[in-house]
Structure 1
């Protein structure tokens, strides 16, 4: 199955598993949802939890998740039941196989306008030094401090367990960045990655590394995405760029970032009420960026963000549910 045909699943899923809009509360049952450890996915998990519990009477348990470990667990063990925000660039081949073999179902494309991934630097640094491409940046290791070896520039990677950690390591090798005076820096955690950017801006220093949207950071700080100067090579991406310890990686542009809600096939077959909701649930990058910026400004938790969204964006979420369910959720918040 190609990703084009995978997207086609979204168009027919509702026909396959859609059910009547009204359900008794006890028909929803129990489910587990992965609360991924980045802000937009954690927020999505809590939005789903509140709507499903308050609107449909579900019993929802949130479990800690990451892209690759969560997908692997769903594929091999059938748990958790739902991954609300699965960035599939690093798992395209096994995801397609899991769909073909009937283990995983795509419920929806949660980010209606897709995600954005790449290498970024502060816009101020880019303009002052006429930097537009990754090669331009690699020519100036002195502009990007933060490496353990102060004689080298810092190239920040993703936290362990994230799909982008493998991708960035392979891109770093393909660029020959070490030979150009850079050190690949392990950010340690999502908070560590964000903190490295905030620290650079506070010190008016350069920063170079992987980041993505939607995020609060890109709403708070003016960053420029660097051009890689190459096209996306799907075969190389699937067979090397996303493969840990690939022997000879080549520089490869990120493909369009599909961001899906994935569920186990067994869960999809037995939970029509939840699947109907998940099939309609999607939001834009602008909406999520606004929410994440609010959360950052107010030191809010994922739960806080979910309630803020439900209270302030009814025009978005009420389109996902029936009037009866919307009334129940509104009464609860």
Structure 2
């Protein structure tokens, strides 16, 4: 009995010691709050960060629901949450610049290595079958390849749903290109599901499709689409002062700017948590990886957490490049 009690005491002390060591490791990283934004790529990114920081570095991570403006405002005014993994900078460009200049917020890595990409796209099978279609303007020479749903004698340019900013930009570029005079109608997709469904239906029937879309998205992970450039360089002033303005009087053709998409953190985190900052300054992924990941999530009706674990299982060459050997091994052990 004495030996049993002694052995139990040793085991208890060992467990307490291990627990204390783990607590100290967690204390080194501290408690971190991350915004789980309400669109797919950002939600998955939040879970990727949570898993890395908890499993690889012993942090205590809290996820909080987020959206662009509420999260930015809370971080800017209250200093919380600590991290917005995927902030599309163009939507908060001026106030973010002020917050960075005044030291309240810090831009870490460009999480989307390719940036957020907008444009007019066609299916790969159309581009392969018609190699002469190398630009938006060349596509507009062929309304017969992209029949409008309600009037197949005319071509269709599929637009964004009502209320989205891309509905405005697409409509202005449609007018700038004089697409109606070239035999095209601008077709309202009705909803996000309607826009996605139009691409899916075209692919199922191997029919023409032409219109606005963006990356990274699940649809571009499911369907091989080709982004057509405009035969005009980016004119940022034109884009800002006219292309994005409802019913701009005299829109001109301009390329879309690539959206800057950064991880943004509070000054408090940046100053007090070098472990987290070292990781965030390395963490970045390509749109093709995100597209494929979101397609898997959609097809499997998976959660953000499920998609994050799938990422770790499927793309070790990506995430291991973000981490030191010890942290990478801990994450791998957790898979």
TM-score greater than 0.5 by the shorter chain: yes
Q: Is the 8 A contact 1:119 1:210 kept in 2?
A: yes
- Tell me the CA shift for residue 261 of structure 1: 1.5
Distance in 2, matches of 1:50 and 1:231, equals: 41
| 2:213 aligned partner | 211
Distance in 2, matches of 1:239 and 1:144, equals: 30
| 2:136 aligned partner | 134
Q: Is the 8 A contact 1:174 1:250 kept in 2?
A: yes
Q: Note if 1:118 corresponds to 2:119.
A: yes
Instruction: After superposing the two structures, state which structure 1 stretch, 142-151 or 192-201, moved more.
Output: 142-151
Q: Is the 8 A contact 2:162 2:188 kept in 1?
A: no
What is the CA deviation profile of residues 79-136 of structure 1, one whole-angstrom value per residue up to 9, with x for unaligned ones? 6543323344555455434433444321101233445431101233345564333233
SS of 1:132 mapped into structure 2: coil
| 2:311 aligned partner | 309
Aligned residue pairs: how many?
309
- Tell me the CA shift for residue 286 of structure 1: 4.3
Q: Is the 8 A contact 2:174 2:186 kept in 1?
A: no
Structure 2: gaps of 5 or more residues? 1-22
Instruction: After superposing the two structures, state which structure 1 stretch, 102-111 or 163-172, moved more.
Output: 163-172
Distance in 2, matches of 1:249 and 1:117, equals: 18
Q: Is the 8 A contact 1:87 1:258 kept in 2?
A: yes
TM-score (norm 1): 0.74
| 1:185 aligned partner | 188
Seen in structure 2, the aligned counterparts of structure 1 residues 229 and 51 have a Cα distance that, compared at 3 Å, is same
Seen in structure 2, the aligned counterparts of structure 1 residues 242 and 28 have a Cα distance that, compared at 3 Å, is farther
Instruction: After superposing the two structures, state which structure 1 stretch, 242-251 or 51-60, moved more.
Output: 242-251
Q: Normalized per residue, which structure has more helix?
A: 2
| 1:227 aligned partner | 229
- Equivalent residue for 1:201, pick from 196, 200, 203: 203
Q: Is the 8 A contact 2:32 2:59 kept in 1?
A: no
Q: Is the 8 A contact 1:216 1:292 kept in 2?
A: yes
* Structural RMSD (CA): 3.6
- Tell me the CA shift for residue 36 of structure 1: 4.1
- Equivalent residue for 2:278, pick from 243, 262, 276: 276
| 1:52 aligned partner | 53
Seen in structure 2, the aligned counterparts of structure 1 residues 127 and 276 have a Cα distance that, compared at 3 Å, is closer
TM-score (norm 2): 0.74
| 2:5 aligned partner | none
Question: Higher Cα Rg: structure 1 or 2?
Answer: 2
Distance in 1, matches of 2:251 and 2:230, equals: 14
Instruction: After superposing the two structures, state which structure 1 stretch, 140-149 or 120-129, moved more.
Output: 140-149
What is the CA deviation profile of residues 245-291 of structure 1, one whole-angstrom value per residue up to 9, with x for unaligned ones? 65543221123443322234455445444323211211234433443
What is the CA deviation profile of residues 9-60 of structure 1, one whole-angstrom value per residue up to 9, with x for unaligned ones? xxxxxxxxxxxxx97314422413142424x333222211222233332232
| 2:87 aligned partner | 86
SS of 1:280 mapped into structure 2: coil
| 2:253 aligned partner | 251
